[in-house]
Homo-oligomer: A and B are copies of this chain.
Amino acid sequence: MYEQFFKHFTEKVSLSEQEMEYVKGLLKPKKLRRKQYLLQEGDVCREIGFVEKGALRAYSVDEGGTERIIQFALEGWLIADLYSFLTAEAATYSIDAIEDAELLLISRSAHEELLRNLPQYETYTRLSITNAYIAMQRRITSIISTTPEDRYADFIAKYPQIAQRVPQHMIASYIGLTPETLSRVRKRMAGK
């Protein structure tokens, strides 16, 4: 249940056995069925989710009812509406499970306690968010720079695992295309 978490954690910083036990005590396991919400837009995001197993997505819904996916999360990833989590304001994103999932939840109080008591946790979160930031910067470049073909190719190259596990129309949403366009893009690309 905690393998993924400590695998990723100790890749970034080291932890003693006691420290691991201490951290474990602050994590709350949670299972989610496919389609079940971890967070709904408008609610306050009260915890960060670490994905032990399964797949989730964060998305917003525009006026027309179209879902815009802003993040996927597979095993080893963190997912939350960070702004809502940090400010306790209403979330602008919803998060739900694309597959049945097992999560470890870090509540706000646990987060603060860990930041206070365990320097490695601050380093872990700093490095995690730095990576997420860099990935997001590239994503913006990809979105504003390139053709649909390139965007899709970038996505496949970067996240082959996601491409295999997630419905195509969600990938379309993530890279800013309609499902129809993505379908045609794939057809065009297959021809080469």
Contact = CB atoms under 8 A, between A and B. Distances in A.
Nearest to A62: B145
Nearest to A143: B143
Interface stretch (A29-37, A133-141, A152-160, A181-189): A133-141
Chain A contact-residue range equals 20 to 34
Contact of A134 (B60, B82, B123, B138): B82
A56 B76 CA distance: 36
A146 B145 CA distance: 17
B70 A141 contact: yes
6 contacts: A60-B141, A92-B141, A129-B129, A133-B133, A140-B140, A140-B143
Please tell me how many copies of the chain the complex holds: 2
A interface, by DSSP: helix, strand, loop or mixed?
A: helix
Contacts of A68: 141, 144-145
A24 interface: no
Contacts of A137: 70-71, 82-83, 136
A132 interface: yes
A146 B129 CA distance: 26
Nearest to A86: B130
A139 B129 CA distance: 16
A83 B135 CA distance: 9
A145 B82 contact: no
A119 interface: yes
A185 to B, nearest CB: 16
Contact of A62 (B70, B126, B146, B173): B146
